[in-house]
Structure 1
Amino acid sequence: MASLPAGVPFPQWVRERVLELSAQGLKSPAIADELAPLGPKERAVRDIIAAERDEQRRTAKPHTNGHAPMLLPHEARDLYLYQSGDVAATNKQKAAFIEATTGKVVSSSLVSKEIVHRLNFTYKKINNHSNKRVESDRVDWFANGPWPAVGRAGCRGVPTEAMVDLDEKTVKYGDLLRQMGHAQRGDRCARAAPPPRSEKAYNLILAIDVNVGVLCYVMFRGSVNKDVFYLFLALYVLPAIANTGPRFIMCDNLSSHFGDEIRDLVSSHGHIMRPRAIHSPDHGPVEWCFSHATTFSHEHDAYLIEHPKEFGRVYAAGLDTLTAAYVRRYFAAAHYPVAGEPYKPYMGQVS
């Protein structure tokens, strides 16, 4: 039976007592019994222990395999740069590099551990992007204005509040089902569900801005061509931004987006339209909105399995949850300055 604390705030006392008993090896049910009736229930005990465990994970984990780093931080950095410069280098070659530059002999099996331990790196899945990117165009997009004297047109000097981003996407049933799951070690993770291609895909065109979030969107079964895009602008986008001043409409460089009739339509309403750099979806906030709706659909995976023909409605419901706050966050993530959000300017990258 626990006694009331003296001179200590009760929540603090509960937390400290739970962690103390947990350190002694007691399980959550035993801790709850020990602190009854003053202490928390078993579920609250588990939450306190889990929160403490997560807090400790923010610091580097101890070297459980008994191997302490041999390299100094700057030596590990040199090794990492060498590895990045010669991706075909073997661990033996890396060990030889370490010995030649530092005089230290490191086993080839410990080379990657030296990088992980000293630089606090983790081994992650590699996300590939198109090798057709033109980095100078990507930099120009943020460095140049809409009418540059030299180089490619960009968005510099355009207030983010005046921007409209739009793009199209093919929405497939299989993409909206959960892709990950849990299973016992050694067992396959499987379930019974309709075939991923059992339903015909939809095409979606979406327009967003930071002022209202989603300006408009259409979902339909059929192809997206220049005529469809023209109608989307004329019937949905331009009326939605009427009387809001000159707007800067941006999208990818698909040829159907930039016919003469489309340019004339946009300019006749006092707006300008510019293409982002090729193969640069990370500079399009609308791509984050597509992912937002996909994540929403994953959360309704069970419903989609039972009602596969409703996948279009579920994805549309995900789009409807896109508030202006979400869209501002996605513009900021794509390197555009947004009031109230951290600014991450795009400075180019080494290819």
Structure 2
Amino acid sequence: MSETGPPVVVVLGDDRPPLLERLGQAARLRQVTQKGLREALAEADVLLVWDFLTDALPEAWPEHGGPRWVHTASAGVDRLIFPALIDSDAVITNSRGVFERPIAEYVAGLVLAMAKDLPGTYDLQRSQIWRHRETERVAGTRAVVVGGGPIGRATARLLSALGLRTALVARTAREADPDFGRVHGFGELPRLLPEADWVVSAAPLTDETADMFDAATFGRMKRGARFINVGRGPLVVEDDLVAALREGRLGGAALDVFREEPLPGDSPLWQTPGLLVSPHMSADTHGWLEDLAEVFLSNFERWVSGRPLHNIVDKKLGYVPVAAADTPKIEEGM
């Protein structure tokens, strides 16, 4: 690690992030791929995980020393939660503030597309078939959004604005929430599922949430309900979801995240009836890479000046706690 001169900022990823030229002489940049990561970490003061799908960090993390600050260009930090990093003095921050509204809009689009059967309309159009159908009204239907962080909250707010009666479920129940009145705890999910027309998974991946959507969970859902996952792939037991769709228990589903990405060509998910597959794109809107760079640059300014960082992850919980959140607006700066 650097003892004199500007701090060493190691950027992990094949592609160079935009806007980093604004760092100027304030940092010594070193961009590496997974192959050069181990050597680079030994001298790094800061690690910017631009390739946030990497699995290379646990093996490359040094036994002694290492970066004092690790920032990831993602909301989820499950790939950073490994023993050596947890036990280190390194602070972890995420890119909270970039993804919430785009993902909420994507979920709202999926709800409307399924309720109005837009995929069916497109299929009939391609076959030049004129077939009048009736569709569903979403206002007045019930939604359960699982995940009480900023993505889940933004999603629940937008669904409520569409007229859905929305319940938000988080790790810990909370009373007198300013947006939802009550936030339900995970333990209340079995009681909420049988009344839900829509179930949205937007939770972080932790030991508590892994595999939470399995055969038992789908079995508790109302027959014909729809399921959407924009959280993390391992939240869902994919074979159980396939079975629930093929048996007609669920009326439809949409997955934007998967246990293995890219999704293998031989995965049964591609051909499962009633399932919409998208390639982990719900948060990615025009200009999102610049927004991610802005979050890092704003935090870098704080780090070099000794001010508290935004978006500090609780390494034991595996996410940024809502009560402790200090999320920046995307600011102009370095």
Fold shared per TM-score above 0.5: no
TM-score bin (small chain):
under 0.3
TM-score (norm: length of structure 1): 0.23
TM-score (norm: length of structure 2): 0.24
